[in-house]
Amino acid sequence: MLSFDYIRENREAVKEGIAAKKSAIDIDELLALDESYRALLGEVEGLRAQRNVLSDAIASATADERAEKIKEAEGLKEKIQASEEGLKEAQEKRDVIARVLPNVPFADVPRGEDESGNVVVRTVGEKPEFSFTPKDSTELGALHDLIDTERAAKVSGTRFGYIKNEAAILEFALVRMAMDEAASEGFAPIVPPVLVGEEAMRGLGYLDKEPEQIYHLPEDNLYLVATAEHAIVPMLAGETLEEGDAPKRFVGFSSAFRREAGSYGRDTKGILRVHQFDKVEMVTFATPDKSDDEHQLMLAIEECLMQKLEIPYQVVRICTGDMGFVAANQYDIEAWIPSENTYRETHSTSNTTDFQSRRLGIRVKGNEGTQLAHILNGTAFAIGRTLIALLENHQNEDGSISIPAALQPYTGFERIG
């Protein structure tokens, strides 16, 4: 959530930034609602001050004066109640719009309407040159009994899969590799809950933008997380990190649940786009002056992991029209998928600045005093998509799959098949 002070002081920049993120919110109208709210707030505070003065007067009044002043106080009480109701309505009218206002992208973020405006920053690694027609991950999974979506459909419906045999070992090898790499940079391992309450999810901003993507259990009013970030970030709600504790870094493992509403007919084959998958996610709480450094660190960890897996990839700067609701700056990593002859997103990392911390009340002490924390998130591994890239890029002509050297200590085997 943006502060109204920031919006007032940067009116034109905010207008341009949210328009670039395809938001049609009228900033002038929003600020007019805020002006009305502030005027009513001043009125309420003035009436409350009068009540305090009158209370002191009643306490020191004579018996003859007291009855008249008590009557005056009762009338003032009715005025205050009416003004407070008007204030509450004005605040709700203002805030219902403010809650759907996206974070403002940095000035140097590429401007674009959709993913066609994304910019490839760099391409790393050599694409494998096969002397045979490469199989896709679904074929490889069936060949070695690694991935079973047919039986998963029988049990759970479409967009689910069983990860089996060596693939299951690969999953936990990837988790441990990611945990070790992040821990070497000061990220504390954590396994968070996968169900969170409405207050936490709303504080993150995700119920105000595309809530239909999130699984909700109405009887308990709990939400299934779409990433470990959803449970890790609100963990510090209402807290202030002491100077020296920031940046505070976590790397969390959890299952992730996404309804994939609106994706009917897209990527229905295999485990690329599923309702449930496992994920290792990094989260950092930083002082504002260090958040860009932390963002680059997350990106560097993501790249290091891809290089250890020997998977060709490209780093993409995400444009305004394709950027997430809470992000001010975003990079994706896209892995080379031989069967599709294209790159596919496997990682994302975002700097949300103070957009979430303002809602959640997370602060940090630093050189500039106590400020709202900047919150960053980044994928270490989204297991399903990483498995796809791993299997396809390291397949051999006989159908076997070689395991990258860096991953072998975690798997205990050098190849599948």
Catalytic residue IDs: 258, 273, 345, 348, 385
Burial class (CB in 10 A: 0-12, 13-18, 19+), 96: exposed
Contact 214, 223 (CB under 8 A): yes
Cα gap 374→366, rounded to integer Å:
12
b/e burial code for range 256-268 (CB count within 10 A of at least 16 → b): bbbbeeeeeeeee
How crowded is the C-beta side of 284, counted as CA atoms within 13 Å? 31
Give the count of beta carbons closer than 10 Å to the beta carbon of residue 121: 13
Nearest residue to 271 (alpha-carbon basis) of 379, 178, 173, 392: 392
| Amino acid, res. 379 | T
Cα gap 366→370, rounded to integer Å:
6
| Amino acid, res. 309 | L
Burial class (CB in 10 A: 0-12, 13-18, 19+), 245: exposed
- Give the DSSP letter string of 267-285: S-STTSS-SEEEEEEEEEE
In this structure, what token pair is assigned to residue 40? 């009513």
Helix axes 63-98, 27-60, angle to 10 degrees: 160
Residue 313 per-residue DSSP state: E
Is 239 in a helix, a strand, or coil?
coil
288: cis peptide before it, omega within 30°? Answer: no
Beta-sheet strands, E only, within 136-286: 147-148, 162-163, 188-190, 195-197, 216-217, 222-224, 240-241, 248-257, 276-286
